[in-house]
Amino acid sequence: MNKIYNPIKKDWTSLLKRPTQTVADIEKMVDPIFLEVKNSGDTAIKTYTEKFDRVSIENFSVTKEEIEIAASQVPENLKLAIQLAKRNIEKFHDAQRTDRVSVETSTGVHCWQEKRPIQKVGLYIPGGTAPLFSTVLMLTVPANLAGCKEIVLCSPPNKEGKLHPAILYTANLCGVTKIFKVGGVQAIAGMTFGTETIPQVYKIFGPGNQYVTVAKQIATKYGIAIDMPAGPSELLVMADDSANAAFVASDLLSQAEHGADSQVILVSTSKLLISEVEREVEEQIKLLPRQEIAKKSIANSKLIYVEDKDIAVELINEYGPEHYILCVENESFFLDRTYNAGSVFIGNYTPESAGDYASGTNHTLPTNGYAKQYSGVNLDSFMKAITFQKISKQGIQGIGETIELMAEAEGLFAHKNAVSLRLKSL
């Protein structure tokens, strides 16, 4: 791993750069795929599935028979684990419900806000080197709690043209309405425009590689909303001498094994801990089945020593990590000053893996520094807040002159007239 000691502030930008291509580089490849899917629908989807996934599929829709077969292939202990995780995720997201907000702003002027579900949502579930059935839980549970009517799921097929049994079992368990064996840029384009098979949706959710992330951003050009830019996974650990070096190393590797373009960073005020963690990483990585992927990620990762906690806090907020593990003696100092992070894991016994699977929080989080302005997926992500108002005769008399004066000052006399007519009628 790359060790950096007391980096000067002017170097932070280059030091904290993610190992991903720029949007401009990827956009050149993504744009033509979008246009082909827009113009040719399923034909284009099939062409790009053959090209990128190296499998020919005539029917992208998953059948009931496929779901039943998949359910029989999932071990019972895994089913029970998925069900327990689902309950915890439901409990946490259901607690996020808010009551209707209602207030009389002036006498006779009644304003209120209610939340309504987004009716059609598209969920992207990564397949690739790791079939993330846990992401099915993270997206379908809040979608159902919100009351979304149509929940469309796309995930890349394997070389046999199938989806992982656990993905199908979890999707069926959580009430997904339509499942398609389509991945990558073509899946995002399909949900953006709609094809003969894949429905168009109003908002697209889910993590993916850097190509999927850019595809989601391009979808916004065509009027489709997205949850956030959520690309290759990343983790930053802040630890001092109170941390367990073996635990820290295991957390770094848990994210490094996601993909070669993942990034993990350790920030510490202890040179001794940095050395211990580096040794632990070298030992633990030998035991991983995905060690070749993890090694590539580790090559992009950093061990950063800083002299004091004030510098550490500033550097961490500048990075804005997707996942942020805090193993320090003075937790409150860091927590009170944490502004940019997708999800925070506190203490030696809170691994990031808990949030990935079963603690209840959502693991679909902003990456690449977007934690500075985006939240992770939550119940409100699947809902819209609509405002309502009703004004009585007394109410319009109370605020009417204010509206007239402001409209006239802006030169919008039709606006003024809409009030004046009502006032004259009274």
Residue 128 has pLDDT above 70, yes or no: no
Amino acid (one-letter) located at 121: V
Q: Does the annotation place 209 within a ligand binding site?
A: yes
Q: Does the annotation place 99 within a ligand binding site?
A: no
- Spell out where 207-258 has E strands: 225-226, 234-239
Per-residue model confidence as pLDDT tens digits over 138-157: 999 999 999 999 999 999 99
Q: Which pLDDT band, with edges at 50, 70 and 90, does 260 fall under?
A: confident
- pLDDT average, residue stretch 378-388: 98
Q: If we measure between CA atoms, which residue out of 358, 318, 357, 359 comes closest to residue 340?
A: 318
- pLDDT average, residue stretch 398-411: 98
Tokens of 350: 């809170």
pLDDT above 90 covers a percentage of the chain that reads: 93
Phi, psi of 344 (to 5 degrees): -115, 135
pLDDT at position 341 is: 98
Tokens of 331: 């937790």
CA atoms within 13 A on the CB side of 176: 30
The residue from 280, 323, 352, 363 that is catalytic is 323
- pLDDT average, residue stretch 125-139: 89
pLDDT at position 179 is: 98
Tokens of 160: 């046999």
pLDDT at position 129 is: 67
Query: Which of 249 and 232 is assigned the larger pLDDT?
Result: 249
Per-residue model confidence as pLDDT tens digits over 11-60: 999 999 988 777 788 999 999 999 999 999 999 999 999 999 999 999 99
**Residue ranges in 320-389 assigned as alpha helix (H):** 331-336, 352-357
Lowest mean pLDDT among 10-24, 111-125, 141-155, 331-345: 10-24
The residue from 234, 280, 322, 352 that is catalytic is 322
Q: If we measure between CA atoms, which residue out of 287, 279, 368, 354 comes closest to residue 322?
A: 368
Q: Does the annotation place 93 within a ligand binding site?
A: no
| Complete domains list, the chain, with CATH | 2-18+232-360 (3.40.50.1980), 23-231 (3.40.50.1980), 392-425 (1.20.5.1300)
Q: Does the annotation place 363 within a ligand binding site?
A: no
Summarize the chain as % helix, strand, coil (round to 5): 50, 15, 35
Predicted TM-score (pTM) above 0.75: yes
Phi, psi of 382 (to 5 degrees): -100, 10
Alpha carbon distance, N-terminus to C-terminus of the chain? 77
Q: Which pLDDT band, with edges at 50, 70 and 90, does 208 fall under?
A: confident
Q: Does the annotation place 233 within a ligand binding site?
A: yes
Active-site residue, 322 included? yes
Active-site residue, 164 included? no
Residue 396, SS3 per DSSP: helix
**Residue ranges in 174-244 assigned as alpha helix (H):** 184-193, 210-219
pLDDT at position 230 is: 82
Amino acid (one-letter) located at 120: K
The overall average pLDDT reported for the chain is 96
